[in-house]
């Protein structure tokens, strides 16, 4: 990648970082992407599955087609980086690097346009609402694969803690499946000094929080992977009152369907037991979302070979993560692979979803080059 293109991409990435659009509100980001595609003379269609865009580059006589995907949405997190290009949208920031993913896909488009050596069709999928907004499913429901036929699809996520610019390709699982879990605990309110006249949902919540951790520890094979974590605890409005209700919300993660069944049964069993013990009612909600992101083997080999063809460092020994990724919905429809590209050190709070995170502009050449190369290789 020449210095002129890198400077352009860096400016684009920092513009997107400064003007983030939270999930389902990516209007400005989509408009920016469309403007850049128009400047490059690339045909594209907007409004697919929400604010999604699909751009198409075709050349030569080959009828082969491949897809490359980048996500566009930001998170409801207040930025604490202090950078000159920090978010100007209060309470919203690109804390996961989707600004970099979007920019590097634009960079891949520029590289593909400048290279006459390949033949076929590349569909560039700019996806909204990856952060729990169902963007991949919405684009698929809007006819993504029928309107833009493709044999395979590829994408990546930047990965703090992995050496900058290094490509990591997994055999099989890359990221986990998951569900949102909720517990509505209903008791009977009363004075905190007269607990015998109440049915205390706070005590029940405390027992439930601890007991839920026994499900993975004592029901899941130690050689398997599973997580149950609670992130929200809501209840009470006065220090001297026992409230009527307490609500808990969290997530569970797993790779394999039989582990999902163990977790599901365990959550319901533990909640029923705590409800009986504490004389309260507990309503359990389990909302299953995206499945596990699992690379298909031929496409994983293509992704790894593309890293080598692009002259990039390659790792095949990085373990998968329990994070989730709705790229899994595409992989349920088409073969493909999801790589990680190192973002550099994750120290000083620079991990994903941190208010101090920032995408590393130095990896834009590697990311754009890998995307362009894997597309070319897939079309051969």
Per residue in 182-239, pLDDT tens?
A: 999 999 999 999 999 999 999 999 999 999 999 999 999 999 999 999 999 999 999 9
Per residue in 24-40, pLDDT tens?
A: 999 999 999 999 999 99
Q: What pLDDT sits at residue 349? A: 82
Q: CA-based Rg of the chain, rounded to a whole angstrom?
A: 23
Q: What pLDDT sits at residue 275? A: 98
Q: What pLDDT sits at residue 310? A: 98
Which domains does the chain carry?
A: 3-175+292-379 (3.40.630.10), 177-288 (3.30.70.360)
Residue 242: pLDDT over 90: yes
Q: What pLDDT sits at residue 350? A: 87
Per residue in 58-82, pLDDT tens?
A: 999 999 999 999 999 999 999 999 9
Per residue in 104-136, pLDDT tens?
A: 999 999 999 999 999 999 999 999 999 989 999
pTM to 2 decimal places: 0.91
């Amino acid at each position: 990648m020449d210095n002129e293109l890198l400077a352009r991409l860096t400016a684009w990435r920092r513009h997107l970082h400064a003007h983030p659009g939270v999930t389902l509100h990516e209007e400005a980001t989509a408009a920016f992407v469309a403007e850049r595609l128009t400047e490059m003379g690339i045909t594209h269609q907007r409004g697919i599955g929400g604010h999604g865009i699909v751009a198409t580059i075709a050349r030569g006589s080959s009828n082969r087609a491949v897809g490359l995907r980048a996500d566009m949405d930001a998170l409801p997190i207040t930025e604490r980086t202090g950078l000159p290009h920090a978010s100007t949208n209060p309470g919203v920031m690109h804390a996961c690097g989707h600004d970099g993913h979007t920019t590097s896909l634009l960079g891949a488009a520029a590289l593909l346009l400048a290279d006459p050596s390949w033949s076929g069709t590349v569909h560039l999928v700019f996806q909204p609402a990856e952060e729990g907004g169902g963007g991949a499913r919405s684009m698929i429901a809007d006819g993504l694969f029928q309107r833009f036929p493709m044999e395979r699809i590829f994408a990546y996520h930047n990965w703090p803690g992995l050496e900058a610019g290094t490509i990591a390709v997994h055999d099989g699982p890359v990221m986990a499946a998951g569900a949102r879990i909720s517990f509505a605990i209903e008791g009977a309110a009363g004075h905190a000094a007269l607990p015998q006249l109440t049915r205390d949902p706070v005590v029940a919540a405390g027992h439930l929080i601890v007991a839920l951790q026994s499900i993975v520890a004592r029901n899941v094979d130690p050689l398997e992977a599973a997580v149950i974590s609670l992130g929200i605890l809501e209840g009470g409005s006065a220090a001297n009152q026992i409230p009527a209700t307490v609500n808990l919300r969290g997530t569970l993660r797993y790779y394999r369907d039989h582990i999902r069944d163990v977790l599901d049964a365990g959550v319901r069993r533990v909640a029923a037991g705590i409800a009986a013990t504490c004389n309260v009612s507990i309503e359990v909600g389990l909302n299953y979302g995206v499945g596990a992101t699992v690379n298909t083997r031929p496409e994983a080999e293509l992704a790894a070979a593309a890293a080598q063809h692009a002259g990039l460092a390659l790792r095949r020994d990085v373990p998968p993560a329990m994070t989730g990724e709705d790229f899994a919905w595409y992989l349920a429809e088409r073969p493909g692979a999801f790589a990680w590209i190192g973002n550099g050190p994750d120290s000083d709070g620079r991990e994903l979803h941190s208010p101090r995170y920032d995408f590393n502009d130095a990896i834009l050449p590697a990311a754009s080059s890998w995307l362009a190369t894997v597309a070319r290789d897939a079309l051969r």
